[in-house]
Amino acid sequence: QVQLVESGGGLVQAGGSLRLSCAASGRTFSTYAMGWFRQAPGKEREFVGTITWSSGRTYYANSVKGRFTISRDNAKNTMYLQMNTLKPEDTAVYYCATGRGFPEVAAARYDYWGQGTQVTVSS
């Protein structure tokens, strides 16, 4: 079992920045990769990006490439999502999850999920 807790969400104006955190606990040594997803009201959960836990390789959705950066701190068992140049269409609940491989873009390929953190971008 792996437990994930997201934090760092909030309200920000368009063009602003936020950094989300995802703290992992439990059987984290078995985690190969982790990812970020988001879900806006009335929409399906959408892949944002993923990172391998050991080497830090990253892969992003086209919609966030160049604006969002994923990183991790192995010593703290924490993954981050730095979001810059935020747009109103980035408004969603953001989730972190543990992945089975890299790069995995389908939510079904992720096993453990956090509870989510709300990000709201005002225009």
pLDDT tens across the length of the chain (123 residues): 899 999 999 999 999 999 999 999 988 777 899 999 999 999 999 999 999 999 999 999 999 999 999 999 999 999 999 999 999 999 999 999 999 899 999 999 999 999 999 999 999
* Whole-number pLDDT of residue 28: 77
Six-digit token string for 25: 């606990």
* Whole-number pLDDT of residue 80: 98
